[in-house]
Amino acid sequence: MDLAKHWRLRHARYRLEGQRNRLTGEVRFPPAPPLPGETEETWEPYILKGRGRVYSFSVVRQPPEGFEDQPPYLVALVRLDEGPLVTAQLTDCDPDQVAIDMPVEMVTRRLRALGPTGLIVYGYKFRPIVS
């Protein structure tokens, strides 16, 4: 079920691989195909460090199909140190421990299972940085 759809995103999902512009040095995540006028050489693969700060966060209590076993779960927009903003779940913490600007780091976790006979989709979540 939906195997190829998730497999082709594995580099971004498992190791936060985005892209860096060879000319300007701009880093972007998620990766995207070249624009008309750009070539395959315009952007090179670039692995982000996986550290950033919480831009905003919420708690999902009414889940979509496929996430019924998870609520309540924390979701966030995270501003990565390299600049891009990324959407992900927060893990290993409770809602009352989270605040805007809290430092977080990427971990690889199970995102969802695609049914009893389907794929288990893994990917990035973020947790508070334990100093």
Partner 1 sequence: MRHVYIIGTGATPVGEHWDRSPASLAIEALTGALGTIPASRIGALYVASALSGALHTQSQMAALIATAAGIPGVEAVTVEAGGASGGVALRQACLAVAAGAVDLAMVVGVEKVTDVLDARREAALALATDVDWEAIHGVTLTAFWALLMRRYMHEYGYTADDFAPFPVNAHANGVANPRAMYRFAITAEKVRSAPMVAEPLGLLDCSTAADGAAAVLIASEGLAHELCATPVRIAGSATATDTLALHSRPDPLWFPAAAYSAAAALRTARLTHSDVQVFDVTDPHGIAAALALESSGFAERGTAVALAREGAITPKGRLPLATGGGCKARGDVVGASGVYQIVELVAQLRGQAGAAQVNGARVALAQCMGGIGATVATHILTLE
**Applying CB under 8 A, which residues contact partner 1?**
5, 9, 30, 55-68, 70, 73, 75-77, 84-89, 95, 100, 111-112, 121, 123, 125
Alpha helices in the chain (DSSP H): 3-7, 10-15
Minimal distance, residue 76 CB to partner 1, in Å = 7
Considering beta carbons, is residue 3 or 59 the nearer one to partner 1? 59
> Shortest gap between Cβ of 97 and partner 1 (angstroms)?
13
Eight-state DSSP code of residue 33: P
42: nearest Cα among 20, 59, 58? 20
Q: Which is nearer to partner 1, 27 or 121 (CB)?
A: 121
User: What's the gap between Cα 125 and its chain centre?
Assistant: 6
